Amino acid sequence: MQPAPFHQLPGDTLPPADAFWVRADDGVRLRLAVWRGADNAPRGSVLLFPGRTEYIEKYSPFAHRLTQAGYHVISIDWRGQGLSDRLQDDPRPGHIGEFSDYQRDVVEMLVAVGELDLPRPWHLLAHSMGGCIGLAALIDDLPVVSAAFSAPMWGINLRQMPRRMAMAITAIAARAGFGGRSTPGTGAGGTYFVDEAFSTNLLTCNVDEWSRLLREAVSWPDLTIGGASYDWLRHALTECRRLSDLPGPDIPMLVSLGSDEKIVSATAIRQRAQAWPGAQLLDIDGGRHEVIVETPARQQLFFDAVLAQFNTASAADY
């Protein structure tokens, strides 16, 4: 593991994470970072799986809250975003060769967790696309004792476009040789926080968090990406369909869903939660897609539920 940069805005007083580089088995360079909790009697460690377009620094405030509660936290820039290697000449679209390639990144994350000797038990915290990657990893026996999801991408809100039509369009794009280009309506070549107005955004009702993320996007454009590529959308839809046919693992699970969710499929989340024995569905009244950067009261509701689940699972593991 080689040291990697970790960005902070001017005036940020939170302790920085320790960032480092690793390489996946196919040669892709990945950036990871760890926030360490108190050394005395740690409760365990959290594997934080970000969503599409995201980067490690975005989660620093939430990771700091977890370290204050006694947990170590490790996170990752998925391949194709953040400071990890981009996967095509045009670095702006969110792109992937095969959705299963994200599991290569999960493997390297677990290797790093072992080399860093992060304390057990381990827990999963995953948002949006990270929730899709995380569910696949759990089904493949990710060694965690509990999981918490924020608006997981277990289905995509196609805004009334039939899934079959979306698959046909993305297949045509791939055959035409532009599968790596951004799909219409997903941000084109810019980044969401720069291109979208706060008044019409689908992510958060918290103007302070929106302003922070806008400042980060302007200050660190090399961390950002734009819309999803046709290939990414095709592979993501295929993966969501594959996972929908598989049962969830037998571990405690918490999942939050905002009442104003418009990016992922609320129906898929409710169906999965209903079918998962012992799952807790946390409805966030008025919440949009990103509860971790929502209004303070909504953030607190989610944080308290996550912490209660992790604490209970950690205690049961001993």
Q: At what angle do helices 296-317 and 60-68 cross, to 10 degrees?
A: 50
Would you state the pLDDT for residue 192? Answer: 87
Would you state the pLDDT for residue 41? Answer: 63
Domain ranges in the chain are 2-317
Kind of pairing between the strands at 2-3 and 18-23: antiparallel
Question: In the CATH hierarchy, which top-level class contains the domain 2-317?
Answer: alpha beta
| Residue-wise pLDDT tens digits, 205-239 | 999 999 999 999 999 999 999 999 999 999 999 99
Q: How many CB atoms lie within 10 A of CB 162?
A: 9
How far, in Å, CA of 233 to CA of 231, rounded? 5
Closest residue by Cα to residue 77 from 57, 101, 103: 57
Q: What is the mean pLDDT of each run of 10 residues along the chain (318 residues)?
A: 96 95 98 88 91 97 96 97 95 94 98 96 98 98 97 92 84 85 68 90 96 96 94 95 93 97 97 94 97 98 97 82
Kind of pairing between the strands at 29-35 and 280-284: unpaired
Annotate 140-161 with b (16+ C-beta within 10 A) or e (fewer).
Answer: eebebbbbbbbbbbbbbbeeee
Task: Quote the DSSP letter at residue 170.
Answer: H
